Structure formats: C-alpha cells, structure tokens
A and B are shown apart, each in its own frame.
Chain A
Amino acid sequence: MLALLLLAGCTRAGDPADPSPAPTPAVAPIPKPATRANATVTLTSVTFADDCGGAAPSKAPARAPAGAALAVDMERRRCEQTSMQLAIGALADTEIHIKSVEVFDETGTSIGVLAASKPQRWADGAAAYEAWDEKIAKGATARVSYALAQPRIDRYDSRDRTYTVKVIASIGGADQPLQTTVMVVGQPPAVPT
C-alpha cells in the first residue's frame, strides 16, 4: 500500500497570486473552450494517496488481533483514497462526466492518467458525501468528489515538487478543461499537523 501522499494546492498554473519559488510546470495551460458551458466547474483540491477501490487487502494480516474479520476491516480502513474535489454551479440542467485526469511532472512529462470513479456529492443534511448520478439542475450548486486511481509517483522521488493535474470534464456533452498545480507533502513517516 502506498502510504499517504497528501497533495494540496488548488491554484491554476501560472497564477500570479502563487508566490511559490518552485519551478513553473512546463505544462501548457489548457485553452478555454470557445463555447459557453452549461455549468461552471472549479477544481478545489486534489489529494494523492492510495487506491482503495473497495477491494479487500491483497494479503492477509500476519496475526489477527481480535478475529480475522476485524483485522481485515482495519486494514481496509487504513487505506486513504486518492481523490479530487470540484465545485459546480449549473447554468442549465446538465450532466457532468470526467473524461480524463492526467498528471504531469515539472518537466511537462505525463506521468500517468488516473481513472476517476465513484462520483459523490456533498449532502449538507447528512454532513457526508453521498453517491451522485452526475446530474445537476439549473441554478443548483454542488460540491462533489471523485475517487482517483493511485498516481504512480515514487514518494522518495517526489519530495518538494509540484505536479500539474489536468482534468477534462464533459458538461452536457461539451468538454471543459480544468487544471491545478499541486505539491506532494506529508509523506510518511511525517505526521503533518
């Protein structure tokens, strides 16, 4: 299991408000779509961690402390899901799908395409993310989250670096590009507080 790699940061590449002295990612900004979309979509955060996938752990624990089922469940719950969060404002009834999520290093080299799955929408009443059908009504806003596949980043080779995440969202059939610059932090054994 890839231990936690916490990625944070939500600014667009080249944002003048970002004082980071890190090298500017050599990834060209995605041009804005010419057509007006049915919704505004903002990439609010990305967290790189594990790919939990809902599957059982790949190997049995060495010793079950209070029953094998409990041990397996704890191993499952140890997993931290890689994810991305979006904020959406709908200008018309529409559907949203994630067509691609691609990660680039500072040289502009693609280091992987991450499958997005399990769309969830924040429910204020439940104070939790709940399964979402990727539909949103005109005038509505939504805070949504997608599980992402685990990025293939060698954590011993990723310290203090920035990455660019490019997302293509399909909004009512029209593609909208999203982009964010993120930084890998919080690698074990550190315990960020």
Chain B
Amino acid sequence: MRAVVLALVAACSAPTPAPVVVAALAPWSDAWLLEQAKPYLTDAVARRAALEHALTNPANMYSRIRLAAYGRATGGWDLLPVWNPRSIAVTTAMLPTLARGELPAPPSTPLWNGVTPTTMPAWVALGRRVFFEYPMRAEVFMEYALTEPKLAAAVGVERTRDGDLPGLVVFANIDGETRVGITCAICHATVKDGKLIAGEARRTFDYGKLRLTFDQIHGTVRSADEANRMASWGPGRADVTEDDDEDPVAIPDLWGLRHQRFLTQAGTIRHDSPLALAIRQETQLTDSNHARIRPPRELAWALAMYVYSLTPPASTAPPSPRGATLFLDHCARCHANAVYGGGAIAATTIGTDPALATGRGRGTGKYRVPSLLGVRDGAPYLHHGVVRSLAELLSPDRKEPGHVAGTQLASSDRDALIAYLETL
C-alpha cells in the first residue's frame, strides 16, 4: 500500500532545485545528515546559500529579516555573542518556591559541554536537551502563571507523572538575571495520562488567555482589537507571524518532517536540505531572544536532528482496507509522501482561509500539505485549527470552506476513510 502511495506523483509540489548531495549516501539517511552537518557548522558561504535557497518568497517579512541579518559573516547576526545558557527544567518539586514568586538558582554549568557530537544518537540526545531546556525567551506571563496554579492548568501547563513541566525552565538570562523561560516544548510536547509525548502539539496551550489574564491582573491597558484577537485564538492556536494581519495558526505536530519538503503551514521554507531546518532553528532562537545573542550552531543542528527523530505513538486502530483504497483514490494525490504529506498547494486551489498564505509575514501564496501521521489526535484541523473532527472535515455540510477532498463520498465511505486515517 505505502509503495503505491509513494509511487504517485506529488502533483501538489512545485519543482525545486536539488540540494547538495554527498555522493554514495542516500539523501535524508542518518549518514547523509551527519555529512551535512559539516557545511552548516563550518561554512558561512554555505549557510548563506542555503538560506537564500530555502526562502520560497524572499519578499515576505520572515525572509527579509533573515536575508538582512543572517549569514553575512562580517556583519549582522553572525557577530552576535554565542549563548550557551545555564538552564534547568521546571519540576513539580520547584512549584512551591515558584508560587511564592521566588526562583531557584540556575545550574552552574551550561546546557552544552562544548563537545561536538559525532553520531546521530549523540546529536539527537543533545537536541532533546535543546528542545526542553534552551530558552526561547524569558516569559513573565508564564512566571506569573506558576504563582496561580488554577491559571497554569487552564492555559495548558502540563505535568508528567515523573513531575516534569515540559517547556518551562529556570535560567540565567543574558543580563545575568534568573528568569522563567519557555522552550520549544511548551508548544510541541504534550502530556497524556501522565506520559510525555514530544513532538505532538500542545493543544491545551492557551497563550492568548495567559497574556490577557496577566494584563487584567496587572492593569495593563490593551486595545479592544488586540484583546479580542488574542481571546479568539483559544487553546492550541496563536498568531505567530511577523505582520499585523489576523492569521492565527494551529500549533502543528512535528511528525515526519524529514520527509516534508516545506516548513511552516504556509510553506515559507523550502526544506530539501537539513540546513534549512537548522537555519530555521538558529534564527528562531536568535530572533526570539531579541537578536542580542545567537545559539551555538551545534545546538541548532542538534535540535534539527532531534526534530527529525520524533515519531507519533503507534496507532491501535484496526486496519481499514476499504478506507485505504479510498485514501489512494481521493487523498494520495496530495498526501503523497512517506508520511502522508506533500509539497505546497496554491491557497486558491485548496480553498481554505487564505489569510496566512497571502499574508506579508510568511506568505507564499500556498499551503503546505501536512503529514497525516497521528492525524487521529490532530484535531482541530486545517492550518488554522477551525475544524473540530475528521468527521466534520469530510462532511459535505461543513461550513468552513476549502479542502473539499473526501466531502463528496458516501457516508459509509467517509466512515471507512476515517477508520483508515486513524491507523496512520
């Protein structure tokens, strides 16, 4: 079945130039990825070229910021201090202290020991630490939430049975002050039945509610427009774009990225080289720390390798042969790759809300075809998280426009297709 799916032409993808391929190594194999680390870590010209190649629309704001500042060797972000933070993950044992508004001392040693990994398991292990421990920024809103347990629970601060609060750290910031920070895991890791699932979107995380509550308590005046927009995000959604357009997105799962040829829901980044993801991570950590530091590139590369390693929990759903056939007939033209994702498709073709695809922040005119790995747990659906279930997505009566594939099926076939999707 999968072989047939793989054989289908990814009709939704625009052709892209081939990445630099090391001879005799299969692209995207672990060995190939290890080789690709060299140009990223050591060659400023290669990084700049990779950036320019990766940005699918150089005119959007995301691209312009990076083209102005990244990979310039003798200027811009390349000359920022390299920050290897002292950071410790928040645990339930720390909560009484944090609830008093006090912060435990950060560790005396930095996150990274300065030794460059040489094997994929070592890269992945280091990347896991970055994912859970490298602060994206100090986060006073979350620091406040930790003093109000009910608020923390309401905005998606989750706890594992082992007492971890993934995505939250206490760290020494770049001005020498101890702060609470957030990491990648605040959005891209969740807890179910006490068990950590790294890579799955935290669909309980309500950042808009967190900020609005902080504002209310602290008497901060915010315009009605801003307040209404943040209130409208709800759990699992936020507006992450650089522009002022109203285009919130659903936090995405991180499954199968090694097979996906575009990054971000709008396909902002062409991903035919791992340098594209490493640069994405490096510039994200730089930008979110207000461009006063940059991370060690080894940590950005490690983070990329860790993200590539993430896989969803195995499905326990029974097979659905009829659904598999329907998938091939009705879905696989776009969801064509090994992780049931694909390239990028014009927003006008897919017909969903075009605000993100046409926005000045990260717009490309297209939307990425998402991977369907773990789609059974991926609700709400579409890039902006407005469809509540697979049944609603495939319903002919759905009000939200776009993505009509599957909606014309008979009711029994829709059920069979959903049964198949739940196996992925």
Real binding pair: yes
A residues lining the B interface (CB < 8 Å): 1, 3, 6, 8-12, 15, 17-22, 42-47, 49, 59-63, 65-67, 69-71, 73-75, 77-78, 80, 83, 85, 87, 120, 122, 124, 126-130, 143, 145, 156, 159-160, 181, 183, 185-193
Q: Can you name the residue of chain A whose Cβ is closest to the Cβ of B207? A: A191
Place the interface of chain B in its size category. 35 or more
B360 at the interface (CB under 8 A from A): yes
Interface string of B186-199 (1 = CB under 8 A from A): 01000000000000
A selection of 12 A-B contacts at a CB cut-off of 8 Å is A8-B68, A9-B64, A20-B67, A42-B75, A65-B148, A71-B218, A73-B101, A77-B140, A129-B81, A129-B174, A183-B61, A185-B361
New A-B pairs, 15, CB < 8 Å, besides A128-B174, A128-B175: A6-B291, A8-B291, A9-B65, A20-B64, A49-B290, A65-B148, A66-B99, A66-B100, A69-B101, A74-B143, A129-B174, A159-B360, A183-B68, A188-B222, A193-B288
Whether B219 pairs with A193 at a CB distance below 8 angstroms is: no
Known A127-B85, A130-B176: A44·B75 in contact at CB below 8 Å: yes
B202 at the interface (CB under 8 A from A): no
Count A-B pairs with CB separation below 8 Å. Answer: 188
List the one stretch of B156-164, B236-244, B388-396 in contact with chain A.
Answer: B236-244
Which residues from chain B contact A60 at a C-beta distance below 8 Å?
Answer: 219
Leading 6 A-B pairs by shortest Cβ distance: A10-B76, A9-B68, A45-B291, A70-B101, A62-B219, A87-B79
Query: Which of A19, A44, A67, A156 has most chain B Cβ within 10 Å?
Result: A44
From A69, A189, A193, give the contact of B230 (CB < 8 A). A189
Whether B61 pairs with A128 at a CB distance below 8 angstroms is: no
- Cα distance, A129 to B80, chains bound together (Å): 12
Whether B143 pairs with A77 at a CB distance below 8 angstroms is: yes
Which residues from chain A contact B239 at a C-beta distance below 8 Å?
Answer: 189-191
Q: Can you name the residue of chain B whose Cβ is closest to the Cβ of A130? A: B176
